[in-house]
Structure 1
């Protein structure tokens, strides 16, 4: 049996593609540096919107099969990032995509109809226990997941946040279900975020170039979505600009979900590297390590002996 890496990162995400959008560059960087990266995905994203016309038949309201297809997409994306340890919470298909609808205020909310086998209705203890077992096996020093709003309000993102935070607590309790493994206390927990200053600078560059459709409706000087955090709330920025193209190539593998002619791909290399290659985090648990001249940790493992 091979010896596990000294430094180990665990990420908990709701659907395939969330991991690459949020932390693809960080994952690629840490893999390249020989650190351990484990990804847990909570659902197969069966209710995602299919953006490729020739694959529209996979949608849940047509022939179905999107979840199995996205299983292949995430495998391809992770192979690009170099991540070899991927788990489905409770096993593939244990919990289904809950779906969502858009609120008038521009964020996601729970759909009018949610099936009983959806992740939103998962037995909380059962879902947490499935993650506790992984935590105790992998023994990560760092956990990354969503904030309490799930970034933009998607119920599965919110549930992933809740399950991850609860499981992190339970995993550290010596008397809690010893059959799930030896207790493990995760030293540092972060919520993924996007830097307000970087987002505004990138939007400004896009608008000045004449692009009014990418991130349509977002004003460089106006209100921004919830997942964009003020720089004062951010504690770490992992600069992985050299892995930006790796991240974007991994995103291309999620072809049913990501439009390659806009959004992530419309930015010039210079702007794109700044916004997609430098990923921001809010610290939730643990002591901040050494920071740079801007007051940010540059490594999620900073301060861990």
Structure 2
């Protein structure tokens, strides 16, 4: 396939880099058209550098606009030239973590009308015509309301875009729909490496984390280690949200996480392509052949 088009839908600036940055850099470097759609400006985020603490929602409330520039720099680092804000810049606001007051703001993404938001994404899908669409699973990867809503909106748009009765600009059927994923074996390996290094881990055990999936659920493993420096540069661009010290990074809680150049996905819809024998790296130290796809476009003519 020479005309490959990949679209990713993420909730806030920085999510694209943390969860799929290496993959985006790999496909951009290979000449694929990579489109990133971001649902909010990330206005409710915390801020790491003390000198920028005034940007937060409870002070100047200018963090969102600052993160727009961070996102632009991150996209440049990843080689991504097609970026859109869902519904236009600032159409929906960051809802904050689950259960906080900002969830209930009238313009919070968590409160967005599903069909209205999906309609905005349908327009982009029908314009770009991606063969592959990527977002989070039903739990939004870790339960953030905007991530959950991003899944709902993207899945609804995936359905509507293929419906010839919807809209006037002609249907487009996306061939493959993926969720981002984190296999528990990779989490365990990262936990062990951090403990050996004396780096604090998020919790007592990976079993206590609000994300992660069974290894058998993972269908696709993208080896983008050759592009890890681009992911590192993109993380550094998100300076209000991420501190980076390879092979680790940390968010505002200052707890280390492993910086991964191999990223994982679960095929939600579409025909699974042929798998290469074995995984690109040892998974959980086992080195067993898992038969996963090693290309998001696998099986697409």
Question: TM-score normalized by structure 1?
Answer: 0.88
- List gaps (5 residues or longer) in structure 1: 101-108
For residue 36 of structure 2, the aligned residue among 35, 39, 54 is 39
Q: Deviations over 1:9-44 (max 9, x none)?
A: 000011000000010000000001001100000000
Tell me by how many angstroms 1:57 deviates: 0.5
SS in 2 for 1:260: strand
CA contact (8 A) 2:232 2:244 kept: no
1:295 pairs with 2:291? yes
Matches within 5 A, 1:54-93: 54-93=51-90
CA contact (8 A) 1:13 1:19 kept: yes
> What residue is the counterpart of 1:104 in the other structure?
none
Matches within 5 A, 1:15-34: 15-34=12-31
- List gaps (5 residues or longer) in structure 2: 251-256, 279-289
Tell me by how many angstroms 1:260 deviates: 2.5
> What residue is the counterpart of 1:199 in the other structure?
187
For residue 187 of structure 1, the aligned residue among 175, 190, 194 is 175
Counterparts of 1:195 and 1:13, CA distance in 2: 20
Tell me by how many angstroms 1:137 deviates: 0.4
The structure-2 alpha-carbon separation of the partners of 1:218 and 1:23, relative to structure 1 and needing over 3 Å to count, comes to farther
Which runs of 4 or more aligned residues in structure 1 lie more than 4 Å from their structure 2 counterparts after TM superposition?
A: none
CA contact (8 A) 2:203 2:209 kept: no
> What residue is the counterpart of 1:121 in the other structure?
111
Counterparts of 1:72 and 1:210, CA distance in 2: 34
Counterparts of 2:247 and 2:145, CA distance in 1: 23
Counterparts of 2:171 and 2:208, CA distance in 1: 40
Output the aligned Cα RMSD: 1.8
SS in 2 for 1:252: helix
1:98 pairs with 2:86? no
> What residue is the counterpart of 1:174 in the other structure?
164
Matches within 5 A, 1:231-242: 231-242=215-226
Question: TM-score normalized by structure 2?
Answer: 0.90
